[in-house]
Amino acid sequence: MEQLRSKKGFICDMDGVIYHGGKILPGVENFVQWLYDNDKKFLFLTNNSSNTPLELKLKLQSMGLDVDESHFYTSALATAKFVAKQKHHAKAFVIGQPGLIGALYNEGVAISDTDPDFVIIGDATQQYNYEMVCKAVKFVNNGARLIGTNTDMTVPITDGILPSCHALVSPIELATNKKAYFVGKPNPLMMRTALNILGIHSEEAAMIGDNMDTDVIAGIESGLDTALVLTGVSTRETVEQYPYRPRLILNGVADIADPSIE
């Protein structure tokens, strides 16, 4: 545990690590205070492309946790940065929520359904319908590059799950026989950007997450220390199904701030 606590920076998943449903998880306030008290650099990293950093700040604030918006980074921001670097003044046909559209605008990507360079799909949105899927298929068949903000198939809600980005991209992949490029976790591209934001090297950072398929593998492939918390998706039993392991398995992030736990 001391090896983990000695890290300069922490990259933390949000849902299942910091909160679940509409409630902050037990001990998270102590963990965040520990980060501030020990001058740790940290980012709350989410694959969900729906919200802006300000919206995420306000969301946590409504749950009683105050964190500056500079500590949030989303797959929408990572996707926008990636697309802007791929093509200057790119045009994109987008199916996604305001967090994704705003991020693209801020990076100089034009939202257009006239000969777009990219088709970009984010998380669940009311825009998603048969007509939009048909447009996306047409654009991809005409040469537009298919991009997904993240590989998540589902997103948890209070009373169940909803289809997430990868599930929404799948019909377009099947109809065009072309695979999408996904920017969010576990893509190391997003992790390297997060490290650049924090201004630290991979060996100086730890990835804290609840999902073996995204958080833990992203940390391992990016050279970060890894800790799985048991407050979300993965369990001690499901960990045994994977050929890779996190270095630590914790009950929750509260363990990191508790000096009695070694």
Q: Which of the following is catalytic: 15, 117, 210, 215?
A: 15
- Give yes or no for a contact between 216 and 228, defined as CB atoms under 8 angstroms apart: yes
Q: Which of the following is catalytic: 13, 152, 210, 225?
A: 13
- 13 a catalytic residue: yes
* Strand residues in the chain grouped as ranges (E): 9-12, 19-20, 23-24, 41-46, 72-74, 91-95, 110-111, 118-121, 145-148, 154-157, 160-163, 181-182, 205-209, 225-229, 248-250
Alpha-carbon torsion 128, 190, 31, 253, what sign? positive
Question: Could you give the maximum distance between any two Cα atoms of the chain, in Å?
Answer: 60
- Give yes or no for a contact between 72 and 53, defined as CB atoms under 8 angstroms apart: yes
Q: Which residue numbers are catalytic?
A: 13, 15
